[in-house]
Structure 1
Amino acid sequence: MGHHQGAPMPAGIRHGFRARAHPARSVPCPHEPCHARAHQACIVRVNGRTLAKLHPSRIAAWAASIACCPECQVTPGTPCHVNGQQMAGVHPRRIQEAQVTLA
């Protein structure tokens, strides 16, 4: 007998299960070499171990995608900058702003 998978889980219920996870899991991880897909935990590629916490660059990518930065005044989707130079990450206040946005 083949394995039968029931009906797909409704999005509202699926979101409820994911609600316990950090909201940054909703974006893919840009950390080299992790590159976990959206809604998957970050991993250590060399041994496949799942990490308890997300890579900081994933949290930064999530914050940049949903929140304006109170530090450099950029809109969601625009990278943070310092003196006109794009930052590798985001200002810490932008991460705080993203967390407030979800509350």
Structure 2
Amino acid sequence: MEINFDKEYLRQLYEEGKTTDKKHRFQPHIITRYQLRVKILEQAQGVEELYAINSLHYEVLKGDKAGISSIRVNDQYRIEFTVRQVSSETIVTICNILELSNHYK
């Protein structure tokens, strides 16, 4: 999948392992797991592959977050993203990462 980051701090966490945004500070083990999960999203050809990896707990959210999908980083955090398929000669799936959210807040 092609990955786009909705917020700059998400891109910085993935590429640099830290962010300049003081509001979004995370423990080092959370950042490492986040980077691994984004790599899995990059390597996946489509969302169908995410269902097969049980540790991701891939789900399509409901209610006020309808249309947003999520995978788990750990028990507390999840990556929220939208998926869009672009039709052309080859189907390109674009994953737009929206948030690294605390699941229980």
TM-score, normalised via structure 2 length: 0.28
TM-score, normalisation: structure 1: 0.28
Q: Which has the higher contact order (CA 8 A, sep 6+)?
A: 2
Structure whose alpha-carbon radius of gyration is higher = 1
Q: Judging by fraction of residues, say which structure has more strand.
A: 2
